[in-house]
Amino acid sequence: MAMGQGAIVQDGINKIAVYRDEQGGLHAVSAKCTHLGCVVHWNSAEKSWDCPCHGSRFAVDGEVLHGPAPSALAAVNLDVQDSMQANSPASNHSSVNKASR
């Protein structure tokens, strides 16, 4: 995954929203919107996670930018080697920055 970009990554039955910042660090949060559970998608123009169902928007660390979502996306501990290997071979040795609460 390129720096400054985000993607949804499948981890077993879970979907994780992963963003690679400009320094190469990864930020991982649940891809499940806290409003009604729809899967968010990456908005590259605004650099945010957006919910297609009711318009909620989240920062790269999962914090709510715009409702109706009542709370932030949950932080996820990401096993980079297992979850990101298919996305980008260069990701195998990257560090993961958890979203802080």
Q: What is the mean pLDDT of each run of 10 residues along the chain (101 residues)?
A: 93 93 94 96 96 96 95 86 42 37 33
DSSP-based helix, strand, coil % in the chain, nearest 5: 10, 35, 55
Give dist(CA 62, CA 58) in Å, integer.
Answer: 5
Name the token pair of 25.
Answer: 């660090």
- Distance from chain centroid for Cα 26: 9
Q: What pTM does this model have? A: 0.76
What pLDDT shows up at residue 6? 97
Question: Which one-letter DSSP state was computed for residue 93?
Answer: G
CB 5 within 8 A of CB 44: yes
